[in-house]
């Protein structure tokens, strides 16, 4: 974050504008709209400014800027055509701690002014950090269309009732839910339609009902598939429920980009195992879900990919059923679908594969892989191994020794669907060595089968595949020395659903 967004209360505060042209006129207009006391220092005045000076709306000082103009000011906007003077004003303001903005010179700005959508008292400010003001304006236009002009009225209505609601409903969670039902329900429709007295009457009834109802708010668990990483692969339902959750428990496979879309003030709890820390067992995790829902929270259980594909989602739900906790399940794009699509590898294809099998490469406690190898040896079947990276050599050897051809096309996709996706395309007999020399790390998905040969033709996303036996030097790819993982994925999760462990 390059700039810290704030809304500044300028009513009756002394502000200075230097310059008397059109730009200064726009800046003075905004300051006046915010109720500031504006002093304008300039040698020439545009007509609108002259009018405001005549009407006493601003104090006009008809001369060049002098340092003492800054005394006692909250902020200054320099909008003269003299860039040296503008810079001087910025430096002097900085020296005495007055907030300064030189129009169109981001380097000479302590603050910048955003594009705004004004539905006062509701205000939306958009900034590109001075990098692309036109983009901010385009976005503003889109938001202008989305948000009805009457939203301001709704914000005003809610503002008048806020203290009353706070004193009647003490639990913050219950209060938030009450407000959501008001702001999205029939009360808001009345406000939008200008029927204020009906809105107030309906509001009073709703508040009384809420206060009277002794029932504890009913908590709920949303088991949500977060997809393989790219946040645009979330479903609309996932996004909606993520936006209304009070608390989120997430695995380390959930990408930071996806986590960013959870409601800002929701409590975030990582259930990934942290190095050197006590591991939350699956039973502890189930208990935690039940406890949080029992307190009336809407609990988002966010899992990488799809919660029902190697995600232990089923186990968590059985525990919820036993504890009588209501839940919803939102499917997600599983790693197999996401990685295959973004690597250009169709999982089935009329010419190459009639079926696809998802297999876990996770070893049992005794170190064995419990895989029915004979059922996998079929040249027209695509095999997708989850959690297969650490057992990759063994997997490839077993497939070969059970009869799959050595030259069967095979691929590994690391961090599929994310911008740092890496793809290694090889053959069954070379895949393990190629993946080792490319230093792929978790999360990586393995795809074996004739469909893999389409990866080259259908390449459309990220870097092209790293071909078999390619060395880093010859590849021309600037592979990073250390491959970045998700920022918060310090270690493997407590359960096998979230890592290669
Ligand atoms: N429920 C998840 C799978 C959890 S098992 C899903 O449906 O996708 C964890 C394994 O999934 C990882 O070891 C890896 O093999 C695979 N995986 C998950 N996300 C991945 C990604 N973005 N890129 C590559 N593999 C991924």
**Residue extents of the structural domains in the chain:** 14-113, 150-212, 220-333, 337-491
Nearest partner of 422 among 459, 473, 385, 384, judged by Cα? 459
- Terminal Cα distance for the chain, rounded: 34
Q: Which fold has domain 337-491?
A: 3.30.950
Do 150-212 and 337-491 fold alike per CATH? no
Torsion of CA 158, 162, 168, 171, to 10 degrees: 100
Is 419 buried (19+), middle (13-18) or exposed (0-12) by CB count in 10 A?
exposed
Largest CA distance in the chain: 94
DSSP 333: -
Nearest partner of 315 among 335, 284, 294, 286, judged by Cα? 286
Q: Which residues pair with 424 in a beta bridge?
A: 412, 466
Residues 6 or more apart in contact with residue 434 via CB below 8 angstroms: 412, 424, 426, 466, 468, 469, 470
Nearest partner of 302 among 193, 409, 221, 230, judged by Cα? 221
Q: Which residues pair with 115 in a beta bridge?
A: 126
166 is catalytic: no
How close is the Cα of 387 to the center of ligand 1, in Å?
A: 7
How close is the Cα of 199 to the center of ligand 1, in Å?
A: 50
**DSSP secondary structure, 421-478, as one string:** -EEEEEETTTHHHHHHHTT--SSEEEEESGGGGGGTTT--SSSPPBPTT--HHHH---
Q: Which one is catalytic: 27, 273, 306, 434?
A: 273
351 is catalytic: no
User: At the fourth CATH level, which superfamily is domain 150-212?
Assistant: Sirohaem synthase, dimerisation domain (1.10.8.210)
User: At the fourth CATH level, which superfamily is domain 14-113?
Assistant: NAD(P)-binding Rossmann-like Domain (3.40.50.720)
Write the residue with the smallest CA distance to atom 2 of ligand 1: 305
CATH of segment(s) 220-333: 3.40.1010.10
H/E element, 414? strand 409-414
pLDDT at 489: 30
Per-residue pLDDT of the chain (501 residues; tens, 9 = 90+): 889 999 999 999 999 999 999 999 999 999 999 999 999 999 999 999 999 999 999 999 999 999 999 999 999 999 999 999 999 999 999 999 999 999 989 899 999 999 999 888 899 999 998 888 889 989 998 888 888 788 889 999 999 999 999 999 988 878 888 898 898 878 888 888 889 999 999 999 999 988 887 556 678 999 999 999 999 999 999 998 898 899 999 999 999 999 999 988 899 999 986 555 656 788 999 999 999 999 888 899 999 999 999 998 999 999 999 999 999 999 999 999 999 999 999 999 999 999 999 999 998 877 788 899 999 999 999 999 999 999 999 999 999 999 999 999 999 999 999 999 999 999 999 999 999 999 999 999 999 999 999 999 999 999 888 766 554 444 434 333 333 333 333 332 333 333 333
pLDDT at 496: 37
The Cα 34–Cα 32 span in angstroms is 5
The Cα 407–Cα 322 span in angstroms is 50
Question: Ligand 1 — pocket residues by CB below 6 A?
Answer: 228-229, 253, 303-306, 309-311, 334-335, 339, 386-387, 413, 415-417, 442-445, 497-498, 500
Q: Which one is catalytic: 37, 251, 306, 434?
A: 251
How close is the Cα of 391 to the center of ligand 1, in Å?
A: 15
């Amino acid at each position: 974050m390059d700039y810290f967004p704030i809304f500044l209360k300028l009513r009756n505060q002394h502000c200075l504008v230097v310059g008397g042209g059109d730009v200064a006129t726009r800046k003075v207009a905004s300051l006046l709209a915010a109720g500031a006391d504006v002093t304008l220092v300039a040698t020439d005045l545009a007509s609108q400014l002259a009018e405001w000076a005549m009407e006493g709306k601003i104090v006009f000082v008809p001369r060049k800027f002098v340092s003492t103009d800054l005394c006692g000011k909250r902020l200054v906007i320099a909008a003269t055509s003299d860039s040296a003077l503008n810079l001087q004003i910025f430096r002097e303001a900085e020296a005495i701690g007055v907030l300064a903005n030189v129009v169109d010179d981001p380097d000479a700005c302590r603050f910048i002014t955003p594009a705004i959508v004004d539905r006062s008292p509701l205000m939306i400010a958009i900034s590109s950090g001075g990098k692309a003001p036109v983009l901010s304006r385009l976005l503003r236009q889109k938001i202008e269309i989305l948000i009805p002009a009457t939203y301001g009225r709704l914000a005003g209505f809610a503002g008048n009732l806020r203290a009353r609601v706070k004193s009647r409903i003490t639990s913050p969670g219950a209060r938030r839910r009450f407000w959501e039902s008001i702001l999205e329900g029939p009360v808001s429709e009345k406000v939008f339609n200008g029927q204020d007295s009906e809105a107030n009457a309906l509001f009073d009834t709703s508040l009384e009902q809420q206060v009277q109802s002794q029932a504890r708010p009913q908590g709920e668990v949303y088991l949500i598939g977060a997809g393989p990483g790219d946040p645009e692969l979330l479903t609309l339902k996932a996004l909606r429920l993520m936006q209304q959750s009070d608390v989120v428990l997430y695995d380390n496979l959930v990408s930071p980009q996806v986590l960013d879309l959870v409601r800002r003030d929701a409590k975030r709890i990582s259930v990934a195992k942290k190095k050197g820390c006590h591991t939350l067992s699956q039973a502890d995790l189930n208990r935690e879900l039940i406890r949080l829902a029992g307190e009336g929270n809407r609990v988002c259980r966010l899992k990488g990919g799809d919660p029902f594909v190697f995600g232990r989602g089923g186990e968590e739900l059985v525990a919820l059923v036993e504890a009588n906790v209501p839940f919803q399940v939102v499917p997600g794009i599983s790693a197999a679908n996401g990685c295959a699509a973004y690597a250009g590898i169709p999982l089935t294809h009329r010419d190459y594969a009639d079926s696809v099998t998802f297999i876990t490469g996770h070893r049992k406690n005794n170190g064995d892989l419990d895989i029915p190898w004979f059922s996998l040896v079929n040249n027209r079947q695509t095999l997708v191994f989850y959690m297969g990276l650490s057992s990759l050599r063994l997997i490839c050897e077993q497939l070969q020794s059970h009869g799959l051809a050595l030259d069967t096309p095979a691929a590994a996709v690391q961090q599929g669907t994310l911008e740092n996706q890496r793809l290694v395309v090889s053959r069954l007999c070379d895949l393990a060595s190629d993946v080792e020399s490319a230093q792929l790390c978790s999360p990586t998905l393995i795809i074996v089968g004739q469909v893999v040969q389409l990866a080259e033709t259908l390449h459309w996303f990220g870097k092209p595949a790293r071909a078999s036996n390619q060395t880093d030097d010859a590849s021309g790819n600037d592979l990073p020395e250390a491959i970045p993982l998700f920022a918060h994925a310090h270690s493997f999760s407590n359960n096998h659903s979230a890592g290669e462990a």
